[in-house]
Amino acid sequence: MEEVRASAAWVASCSFHVVVDSAGIERAVENIQEIPRIEWDFEGIHYFDNGPLTVQYLFVLDTLNFCFWPDKDLSYDHLASGLKAALENDKSVFDADRLQKFTGPQLRDLLKWPRPLPLEDERIRLLHEVGFELERSFGGKASNLVETCGKSAAKLVATVTSIFPGFRDHSVYKGHQVFLYKRAQIFAADLFGAFKGRGYGEFTDIGSITIFADYIVPAVLQQLGVLKYSSTLVRMIESDNEILSGSEEEVELRACSIYAVEKMRDLLRVKSGKQVLSIELDLWLWAFGVRCPSLRHHRTLSIYY
């Protein structure tokens, strides 16, 4: 996604609150012997049947994959495993017509969650939107959406962000449009990982996908010495203050993370002489972050973060 890379590089060139430390990148890469191969479903929490139903599951999952932190007991694992159990119990639960009728209490019941979800109204709105657009444009099937993209991850991301407004992860930063596309890119990466690069997950340009800047990866990069924060941002994070969605601080955290990991990937390619995918680095950083409870994750109320 060249527009994502270009946006991230531009933000990194003029950011104030977040600085990408070139020496920190070099030190981090020197300490990486290799990027361990992490299986996509390394925790066994996802639904997979090697067919169209898996694609439908992944699209619903990635529609809802944002903002867990306000409920300290809630995590991505609850979402993935809850949707998996619901689909195993009822194969039609994510049919397009049913997605358009979901309510907050129904989604909570589906996930067996005892209280309102963070940004629950937004989650329901997005489910309705996805159900409506799938039914209108793709015969109700996310697999049909994928098939229209001709094995191109970049085209899939472009199609998703064009047709489904809730995936349009844009911000305006210092008067410039910034493209981040976290959840749309995750959908392509999830397909690639789940299907192991075959069938619905076969993409000839999977290397075009960047990392998915969320509230975990920047914290890991800071711990590795790759990102440096202004004193103002440090105080916000250490005080557990919310970082406003669309604020300069949030855009810089996300864009600089993308730019930094692209630079790490380039150095790793030179060091190893092997192809390194940004999505492999993202999975490694994310797995590192979720297993490190001492990290201070960045708190933003956003459907993109």
Q: Which residues are catalytic?
A: 214
CB pairs under 8 A, 24+ apart, for 98-101? 98/131, 99/60, 99/127, 99/128, 99/130, 99/131, 99/134, 100/127, 100/128, 100/131, 100/132, 100/135, 101/128, 101/131
Rounded to 5°, angle at Cα 268 from 275 and 46: 65
Phi, psi of 229 (to 5 degrees): -110, 150
DSSP state letter for 207: G
Query: How many Cβ atoms from other residues are within 10 Å of residue 120's Cβ?
Result: 16
Phi, psi of 65 (to 5 degrees): -85, 80
Q: Which amino acid is at 280?
A: E
Work out the widest C-alpha separation in the chain, in whole angstroms.
Answer: 52
Q: Which of 27, 6, 9 lies closest to 252 in space, CA to CA?
A: 9
